[in-house]
Structure 1
Amino acid sequence: MARIAFILLTHKDPDGIIAQAERLTQTGDYVAIHFDARAKPEHYRKLRSALDANPNVTFAKKRVKCGWGEWSLVAATLEAVKAAVADFPRATHFYMLSGDCMQIKSAEYAHDFLDAEEVDYIESFDFFSSGWIKTGMKEDRLVYRHWFNERNQPKRFYLAYNLQKRLKLSREVPRDLQMMIGSQWWCLRRRTMEQVLDFIKARPDVMRFFRTTWIPDETFFQTIVHHLIPETEIRARTLTFLMFTDYGMPANFYNDHYDLLLAQDYLFARKISPEAKELKQRLGELWTREGVQFAVSNEGRALHRFLTGRGRVGRRFAPRFWEAEATLGRERTLTLILCKKWHVAKRLVAEFRKRSSIPALDYVFNEMAPLPDLGGIETSPEKRNRHRRALMRMVFDHENADRMVICVDPAELDVIEDFTRDKCQTRILEIECQFSDDYLKGHAQRVGLAGHHTPPQVLDQMLPTIRADLHHESERLRDAEFENYALMREGGEIEDNARALAHALDIPSDMAQELAELDYIFRD
């Protein structure tokens, strides 16, 4: 059975570290602690006093003063690793943690998970081609030497960096290494860790290189493990769940995230907020429990993007430059059918096509709804949206029509506003639907906010936000006060819906009455 030696890098909160170490060792696992040499001496003495008697806890023999982005973080990790390898000969895996991490599965689950495959878990993507680094310094992390810390010595950092660039003092990456990059939160097998320690003894040139790279904790282990271990024995992922905000900072988890965290396909999570005392207590109790079943759905990141993105949806008021001269024409009429339930709008359009010669299209800007060959502009969603006015003008020309109907998702306000600003006459029919809880749960799964195994408690917490979001989309349409706007309601009076259809589609009242009387249109 797997027995884990946790490599714990810490610099504060001795009480929390003591509790974490005692908890993790209750199940026969081990903890090797590196406590930052910059931290308060009394905090370190408190740790030693509380944990020295625990045979499953060890401390790094040498303490390092750590700084973000520096080699010191790797050096501290290696000190804790060496202590763990020497003191815990029965450890099968070495798992990197920080003091802000907590388990989101039981020890029983974690051991079974690691026993299932004879592999290492470490993010390792090609440094130069993967695009893992989104912003900031990239190749220059490696090809120039970095002796100073950008955060506390920014003038020296950039003086040395710019001087090297000016004098063309770049260096080569060790030729036999493929530089890799990834998260610092890894879990490695014992023989892998022993190979890494043997490698760094045999390759002082590699150690010299990494000592002056910038943010080496994202490249050192990632590169060496990839160099030593066959790719078939590496899973390029972390077992620690973490998310980042729009500002590039790790997102914190709070008391109401318990069910969400347990549903993720990870063993640990960071960062747990210091204020989340209830969450810490519940997660702490989880580690030693047996027989717990976890329904893994893994929707956490999609849900975070959805919730944090509300209110930041930008609007585009000016036409794009390639559309400046594009117009459908004053003599043409375009009707936009706006409906969140796509199947409802599609059924209405299908019935309309049976009764009218007016061309009517499905969601051409939201999905790859069929279009005629227009010379390539119709071949991808990106092209359709980039040149939407030109696209619709070509469809009008192809159909030799001066009236047309298309479906648009109500969330696409920029599409709607584009056409209402055009010289053509634009009519709008909004179809207001009723959303049951079951429908919203299905909607959450379709858009990736939830999976088939998402716990019911998580879904219940999501539903008010999703419902409010759909309501907000409808409110935005009405606040825009579009001309030639009509509203058709699920459950509304047939006569009212018929009038809305007749106005928006500009069709005879008897045809509108027929469409309004179709009772299957709104069925889910």
Structure 2
Amino acid sequence: MAEDASPELACVILAHSDPDHLHRLVEALDPFPVYIHVDARATDDMFAAITADLPARATVLPRRPTAWATWGAVEAEIEGYRAALADGGTTHIALLSGADYPTASIAEIRGLLRDHPTDSFSVSAKLPYAQWGRTGGFDRLRYRHWARGKRMLRLPVPRRLPRDVVFAGGPSSKILAVEHARAVVDTYDTQPELVRFWRRTWSSDETFVNSVLNTPRFVPGWQDHHVGDVFLWWIDWGGPRKKSPPWIDTEALPRVLARRWAPEQAIPWMFARKFSTAASSAVLDELDKTYGLRQGAVATEAS
């Protein structure tokens, strides 16, 4: 990379609701290109509102159903990577939800990527993962699963696991160097038996890509170019166990602005979840002001 070249981040956004926040997120990510997937289960009116009046740097991806804990979210992620790789001009690709928002300036995000030009940021653990219950997460793989609403349906008949795969899991949010994203897409395209297997794993968006990345025959040298000791997203999973984090409101603002769980955390988080227009507008205004986000949009709104 040339000395003065600014690394570019392509952002794949998986959305299903809240058009106002989605548009605000796209504005906050300027000038990064964005690739937007809208859940096929969203109404036509919702889809039209989300995709209306997007800037030229935004690409709308073909729609798939992306129900919670199902394979559709993986397909949307892969197609986002595929589109970003085809357009080129980027060094990294981030996977975000439509309820995310930056907690850093664009210059700081670029600076982090400049310091890690070939590195990926993904928190993943090889299975068994102690936080995933008695089997360490292997029950997600050994049995076929379906989801109905936010309930798990499991066929209680074990199946054989694929050979020569390093099984791993972790949050689906990540920033991948383009070579790692390309390896994920190539594996998806050339390993149909893995795709068939993973279609019926539980929360496959937390295990498929992470397992591909940790398997040397798919991604040689991953461990040498993987920054996995800090999660770049602030998500409030504290308190009672729940399936989704709460909306971020003004009460949470000091913790979001702290940007570190502990003083010794070397890299501050760059994004947070989850925001909504209804619950988070005041917090989002403060983030814009603090990190200089949406400057063009704010100037237009003020005029």
Judge same fold: TM > 0.5, yes or no.
yes
Paired residues of 1:3 and 1:111 also in contact (CA < 8 A): yes
Task: Quote the sequence identity (%).
Answer: 25
Distance in 2 (alpha carbons) for counterparts of 1:43 and 1:280: 22
Q: Secondary structure at the match of 2:279?
A: coil
Partner of 1:49: 52
1:37 aligns with 2:62: no
Match of 2:71 in 1: 71
- Residue 58 (structure 1) aligns with: 59
1:187 alignment partner, SS class: strand
TM-score (norm 2): 0.83
1:222 deviates by: 0.8
Deviation at 1:153, TM superposition (A): 7.0
Q: In structure 2, what is the equivalent of residue 131 of structure 1?
A: 130
Shift of 1:113: 1.2
Counterpart CA distance in 2 for 1:108 and 1:232 is: 26
> How far apart are residue 288 of structure 1 and its match?
3.6
* Shift, 1:83, TM fit: 2.1
Unmatched runs of 5 consecutive residues or more in structure 1? 165-169, 290-524
Which structure's CA Rg is the greater one?
Answer: 1
CA contact (8 A) 1:127 1:181 kept: yes
| Contact in 1 for aligned 2:247/2:280 (Cα 8 Å) | no
Residue 21 of structure 2, aligned match among 16, 35, 46 = 16
Q: Distance in 1 between matches of 2:223 and 2:178?
A: 17
Contact kept? 2:247, 2:279, Cα under 8 Å:
no
Going from structure 1 to structure 2, the CA distance change for 1:37 and 1:287 (only over 3 Å counts) comes to farther
Q: Secondary structure at the match of 1:5?
A: strand
Query: Do the aligned residues in 2 keep the contact of 1:23 with 1:287 (CA within 8 Å)?
Result: no
**Conservation of the 8 A alpha-carbon contact between 1:102 and 1:284:** no
CA contact (8 A) 2:127 2:136 kept: no
Summarize deviations over 1:265-294 as a string: whole Å, max 9, x none.
2000112354121111122344546xxxxx
Alignment pair present for 1:275 and 2:279: yes
* d(CA) in 1 for partners of 2:213, 2:133: 23
1:44-193 aligned within 5 A: 44-51=47-54, 54-60=55-61, 62-87=62-87, 89-117=88-116, 118-128=118-128, 130-134=129-133, 138-146=137-145, 148-151=146-149, 157-158=153-154, 161-162=155-156, 164=157, 170-193=158-181
What's the secondary structure of 2:93's corresponding residue? strand
State the superposition RMSD in angstroms.
Answer: 2.2
TM-score, normalised with respect to structure 1: 0.49
Measure how far apart 1:116 and its partner are: 1.1
How far is 1:152 from its partner? 6.1
Query: Which secondary structure state, in structure 1, belongs to the residue aligned with residue 29 of structure 2?
Result: helix
Task: For residue 259 of structure 1, report the CA deviation from its aligned partner.
Answer: 3.6
Q: Tell me the amino acid that sits aligned with residue 211 of structure 1.
A: R
How many equivalent residue pairs?
272
Partner of 2:253: 258
Distance 2:134 2:43 in 1: 34
Distance 1:65 1:105, change over 3 A: same
Q: Compared with structure 1, are the counterparts of its residues 279 and 153 closer, same or farther at alpha carbon in structure 2 (3 Å cutoff)?
A: closer
1:31-74 CA-partner distances (Å, limit 9, x unpaired): 110001111211212333311xx2211111x2111211111111
CA displacement, residues 57-105 of structure 1 (integer Å, 9 cap, x when unaligned)? 1111x21112111111111222222222223x11211111112111111
Summarize the alignment of residues 169-318 of structure 1 with structure 2, pairs less than 5 Å apart: 170-227=158-215, 228=219, 229-236=221-228, 237-244=230-237, 245-248=239-242, 249-264=244-259, 265-272=268-275, 274-288=278-292
Look up the SS of the partner of 1:142 in the other structure: helix
- Structure-2 residue corresponding to 1:399: none
Q: Secondary structure at the match of 1:269?
A: strand
More helix by share: 1
Look up the equivalent residue of 1:247 and give its one-letter code: R
Aligned residue identity for 1:33 = I
Query: Which structure features the higher share of strand residues?
Result: 2
- In structure 1, C-alpha distance between the alignment counterparts of 2:190 and 2:79, rounded to whole Å: 17
Aligned pair in 2 of structure 1 residues 189, 152: CA closer, same or farther (>3 Å)?
closer
Taking a change above 3 Å as real, the CA distance of residues 36 and 106 of structure 1, as seen in their structure-2 partners, is same
Give CA-to-partner distance per residue, 1:452-501, whole Å, 9 cap, x none. Answer: xxxxxxxxxxxxxxxxxxxxxxxxxxxxxxxxxxxxxxxxxxxxxxxxxx
Which amino acid counterpart does residue 272 of structure 2 have in structure 1? A
Which residue identity does 2:235 align to in structure 1?
L
